[in-house]
Amino acid sequence: MLAYYGLFALQHRGQESAGIVASESGAPAFNAHKGMGLVSQVFQPRDLERLKGNRAIGHVRYSTTGSSNLKNAQPFVVDTARGRLAIAHNGNLVNAAALRAELEERGSIFQTTVDSEIVLHLLAQPASNGGGISSLRRLEGAFSIVLMTEREIIGFRDPHGFRPLCLGKLDGAYVLASESCAFDLIHAEFIRDVEPGEVLIIDENGLRSEWPFPKHRSSFCIFEHVYFARPDSNIGGTNVSMARVNMGRELARLHPAEADLVVPVPDSGIFAALGFSEETGIPYYPAFVRNHYIGRTFIQPTQMIRDFNVRVKLNLIRSAVEGKRVVVVDDSIVRGTTARSRVVNLRENGATEVHMRISCPPHKHACYYGIDFPDPEKLLANQCTAEEIRKYLGADSIGYLDVEGMVRSTGKPANEFCMACFNGDYPVPFDEKFDKLIMEKRGAKARLLEPPSERLL
């Protein structure tokens, strides 16, 4: 039940599928339930009743490798010579293709197309073949993982610490979650972040750490602070919402604007817009109103309701923006679709000027460590200069935060972060075959999502 609640708090990290595996400590029965969709859709009361046991791990999937189907939903369970194992993985392995080929050659039979399954097969190898915890050394890339064995819960982060993972305590028992907001929901006490490279083993005797990985510099994904993590989470001692307010303040100092109103793009731009407003003294007004209750819509795009899908999600308060010079703030521009439609909305509703402000630097490079960006040709800032972007969006001005201001906002030094999507500096080299896999997937997804070839400019 606690895992179920925890997954609700982490739903923003993945909406494709959800799953929980529960078991009684020391017993071989692992009870699993997984399904496609949101946590609220996947688990019915009877499913939760069947998840018996005193321990559980859960997962919400946001796919970056492997296709989107139930087979690839996590946690995975496998039977091995070392007993039963279940895994939930956040991140991306960058040497997945090579490891998989090697394991298949040695007789491993894979059930899924997801890189996470490789971890199970590695661990399951006999000790003589380099299996067990020390085998984790073979993994490269981004992995924050929780594993359940018949006697232990094991949580670990890759030695660069790309993705978050934290430790809490509830009624004398330890809990692990990607973000601290999950602990708030279940009234668990936050203890600390799991360290990059740390393997935490929790069993009846308590907690112990192992450090099987070679030491590396920390490369925490700065985009977690910008966009991905929930604002009520604390990561590395920094509250995410406060880092975002700081980003808005920095942005206002770098690219001030003469305007009457600061309007956030909900929900992603809210805290940065607040910071922008605080710094400039320009009033904050949440003029875009979001409908939180729509779920999936099945409305056919007929002529009359062509823009229903957009309008049902977001409406603009005309009387708030009419005749006003507006600064509109969002956290990031990927393909530019969101920003462009927000500028159109504002103009249609009578805004006299629209100044677009973005609380991170331009996204120019792909992410191989677990954030799903399209391939670089589809990233607006990879293809266009700031002036071309301004024109494409139809804005009066555009301003992005710079790397220095973004880093300062977190209160941490620059060398603790991965900023590859902004500066192309990749902390871990990636396997070209993996690269090809991810690109194929991105191509397929882009074809599904995008309107037929709209020229950027």
Q: For residues 183 and 422, which CB has a smaller minimum distance to ligand AMP in the complex?
A: 422
Per CB under 6 A, contacts with ligand AMP among 203-222 are none
Token reading at 457: 């400019």
Please state the closest distance from residue 219 (CB atom) to ligand AMP, in A: 18
First to last CA, the chain: 51
- Identity of the residue, 59 or 342, whose beta carbon is nearer to ligand AMP in the bound complex: 342
Please say which residue, 46 or 455, places its beta carbon nearer to ligand AMP.
Answer: 455
- Give the shortest CB-438-to-ligand AMP separation in angstroms: 13
CA angle 261, 267, 272 (to 5 degrees): 55
The minimum distance between CB 337 and ligand AMP, in angstroms, equals 4
Residue (24 or 372) nearer to ligand AMP, CB:
372
Residues touching ligand AMP, count (CB under 6 A): 16
Minimum gap (Å) between residue 37 Cβ and ligand AMP: 17
Binds ligand AMP by CB under 6 A, chosen from 372, 375, 388, 416: 372
| 267 upstream amide cis, omega within 30 of 0 | yes
**CA–CA distance, 34 with 17 (Å, rounded to integer):** 7
Q: Which 3 state secondary structure label does DSSP give 331?
A: coil
Looking at the Cβ atoms of 76 and 288, the one nearer to ligand AMP is 288
Least distance to ligand AMP from the beta carbon of 13, Å? Answer: 10
Cβ atoms of 413 and 407 within 8 Å: the answer is yes
Measured from the CB of residue 303, what is the shortest distance to ligand AMP in angstroms? 24
Distances, alpha carbon 138 to alpha carbons 160, 367, 421, in Å? 14, 21, 25
User: Which of 1, 456 has the CB closer to ligand AMP?
Assistant: 456
Q: Using CB under 6 A, which residues numbered 331 to 360 contact ligand AMP? A: 331-339
Nearest distance from residue 210's CB to ligand AMP, in Å?
Answer: 32
Binds ligand AMP by CB under 6 A, chosen from 76, 162, 220, 227: 227
For tokens 């677990």, name the residue: 370
H, E, C per residue of 185-251: HCCCEEEEECCCCCEEEEECCEEEEECCCCCCCCCEEHHHHHHHCCCCCEECCEEHHHHHHHHHHHH
Q: Which is nearer to ligand AMP, 324 or 342 (CB)?
A: 342
Pattern 231-270, ligand AMP, x by CB under 6 A: ----------------------------------x--x--
Q: How many CA atoms lie within 13 A of 170 on its CB side?
A: 17
Contacts of 400 (CB under 8 A, 6+ apart): 255, 357, 358, 360, 361, 362, 381, 386
The type of residue at 259 is A
User: What DSSP assignment string belongs to 53-81?
Assistant: SSEEEEEEE--SSS-SSGGG-S-EEEEET
For the CB of residue 227, give the shortest distance to ligand AMP in the complex, in Å. 5
Sign of the dihedral defined by the CA atoms of residues 7, 13, 19, 20, in that order: negative
Q: Tell me the window of 301-309, 321-329, 346-354, 365-373 that interacts with ligand AMP (CB under 6 A).
A: 365-373
Single-letter code of the amino acid located at 94? V
Q: Is 298 exposed, middle or buried (0-12, 13-18, 19+ CB in 10 A)?
A: exposed
- Does residue 161 touch ligand AMP according to CB under 6 A? no
User: Which residue, 3 or 270, is less far from ligand AMP as judged by CB?
Assistant: 270
Does 373 bind ligand AMP (CB under 6 A)? Our answer is yes
The least CB distance from residue 330 to ligand AMP, in Å, is 5
The Cα 62–Cα 360 span in angstroms is 22
Cβ atoms of 198 and 211 within 8 Å: the answer is yes
- Cβ nearer to ligand AMP, comparing 4 with 223: 223
Contact call for residue 330 and ligand AMP (CB under 6 A): yes
- Residues from 268 through 307 that contact ligand AMP (CB under 6 A): 268
Q: Which is nearer to ligand AMP, 77 or 339 (CB)?
A: 339
What would the two tokens of residue 101 be? 């080929």
Interface with ligand AMP, residue 441, by CB under 6 A: no
Please report how close the Cβ of residue 372 comes to ligand AMP at its closest, in angstroms: 5
By CB under 6 A, tell whether 224 contacts ligand AMP. no
In whole angstroms, how close is the CB of 182 to ligand AMP at the nearest point? Answer: 20
Binding site for ligand AMP (CB under 6 A): 227, 265, 268, 330-339, 371-373
